[in-house]
Structure 1
Amino acid sequence: MKIALLALLGLALGAIGGAALGIGAGLAWVEIFKTTDFESYSGMLVFFTFMPLGAAIGGIAGAVLFAVVAIRDTEIAIEREPVRHRDH
């Protein structure tokens, strides 16, 4: 359950971060390649192409990253040996 919840959290955070990076990449694309602004073509390019792509890639990456971290944490917890107390 912990793995699934962390994967969902990673999906949400990754989608938000990826959308923000997608907007940044889209704005950079518009400036570098001098995309026309006729009938707000450049705005539609950024918000209907780059933002959804960034959100999808970021969401998948975040979910995978958080799931891997959760799985590794579970493996480490299983492999740990209990601490033995010595009586003096």
Structure 2
Amino acid sequence: MQMLYNSDSFVVVAIELPAEDAAAPALHRGGYEIVDKSARKEIFIEGALAEQFRAGVDALADSDPTPEALDAYIAGYSGLAQQPMRVH
């Protein structure tokens, strides 16, 4: 687990999970957890959606984005969040 982004509005964490298939322990799967602080909701994206998210972030990184531009991009994914954030 690695925190990639933290602003007043969002936190993005990269999560790498071990493979479910014990016969292939070298394989990993993972995705991104996006926490919308103001809506107090979170979402975990993986697979093709996670790849799309990463490609968009990489494209933004090429233009040296402002925190506002990153927040606006992440907001497009946080709208998918249905899981309320819980503090343990």
Q: Shared topology, TM-score over 0.5?
A: no
Higher radius of gyration, 1 or 2: 1
- Give the TM-score taking structure 1 as reference length: 0.29
- Greater strand fraction, Structure 1 or Structure 2: 2
